[in-house]
Amino acid sequence: MAHDPSNHAPFPTGSAVQRTERALAAIEAAGDEGRRIFTRVYARAALQAARAADERAASGITLGPLDGRIVSIKDLLDVAGEPTTAGSAALRNAPPAAQDAVVVQRLRAAGCVLIGKTNMTEFAFSGIGLNPHFGTPGNAHDAARIPGGSSSGAGVSVARGMAEIAIGTDTGGSVRIPAAFAGIAGFKPTQARVSRDGALALSYTLDTIGPLAASVHDCARADAVLSGQPWQPLPVRDVAGLRIGVPRGWLLREADTAVLDAFEAALRRLSGAGARLTDLALDEWMKAPALLQQNGSIAAAEAAHVHREVLARAPQQLDPRVLARIVPGQSVPAPHYIGVLRERTRLQVAFDAQLEATGVDLLALPTVPIAPPCIAELERDDAAFMRANALVLRNPSVFNFYDLPALSLPFGQAAGLPFGLMLVAPRGRDHELLALAAAIKALGTDA
């Protein structure tokens, strides 16, 4: 039998109680910053869950691959008995959730220690991570810079030792962007893999739920729990002979020089390990989602429906930049919206065939083409915010449109900050993507 590489993946030391106490201490020591990272901390319940996990471990009992692991959850996931605020002041007094979201139920059943709810962009409608209501978490590597969004607190919570795994959502990159900026792994599954019941929607069509973690193996463990599937250790894969397609063109334009340098260094490293790299001319496909939605986006139209009550009751309570993105959705004509959905279905089938024809196992590109900008600059300058938001969302959002599994892998640095390498696999090959990502990460601990 091949050895299980997950046995050699980094695993936290200490009992569940000890690790939970360290995580809670890290949140407390962060002071105001801790309150910008978390909107709610479950200190007492977390310690109770940790004690129960330790008791199970002492008896040789396990509830699964995440038993006793410390997990944070994004503020748009329902927790029974409390309002789901989704980063919005307008929902502070919303009716309490009647039951946990399905993924929260699964995490509890798997023995996870839920440590708290993490901050986010209001309604998950930006890749930047600013939040004027609950504050903006600083980047884990430079607190003056943005954390990435919309799962802003999720990435920071893991990178700063406040959680071991975070659960986020990804509509246009909202797991992969903060993971890239935090220097951790972030996995967006094929949409149908994980139930979204009990997650406040941004876009019914595009939303996915996925994990952020320090290792690919922890993302795989979390994926098994979130998807309700039996845990299967990642199969051993070899980078040698791996066929990787590089979509040269539009998705590399307007990129920072340091990001491009880091990307080319990553490709050289992969080639040196025996991967077979092929430059692909895919701009027709990569540009299609933006071109199709230039007169009205799926996310805006669906968000306008999701938040219609707040828009009618108290639009002034919303972040003006979020409001500015939702309001146009109110006037998207039904024929346009239906036409976009139908054309998306056609393009998905066509792009699936195109990918198969290329013969590649993965696509590789920068998760985000720019380094994280400074928070202060984007807070004061709407034009700078809009440009940065468009750029950070550009690369990852393409693969929400095509509903392909994608993972941001920390792979070196760009100008002293983490560089995220995005790996994309054909639809439904989620477990294989995780296995290949683990093999690529294993090229070296300095990657």
Q: Are 300 and 326 in contact (CB under 8 A)?
A: yes
The residues annotated as belonging to the active site are: 74, 150, 174
Strand 38-41 versus strand 113-118 pairing type: antiparallel
Of 203, 211, 106, the closest CA to residue 157 belongs to: 211
- At 410 the three-state DSSP class reads strand
Q: Are 369 and 173 in contact (CB under 8 A)?
A: no
- At 218 the three-state DSSP class reads helix
Helix intervals (H) in 359-381: 375-380
Q: Are 371 and 419 in contact (CB under 8 A)?
A: no
What Å distances lie between residue 189 and 30, 208, 220, 278, 418, CA to CA?
32, 7, 11, 24, 22
Question: What is the rounded radius of gyration, in angstroms, for the C-alpha atoms of the chain?
Answer: 20
CA 87/CA 92 separation, integer angstroms = 9
CA 170/CA 189 separation, integer angstroms = 9
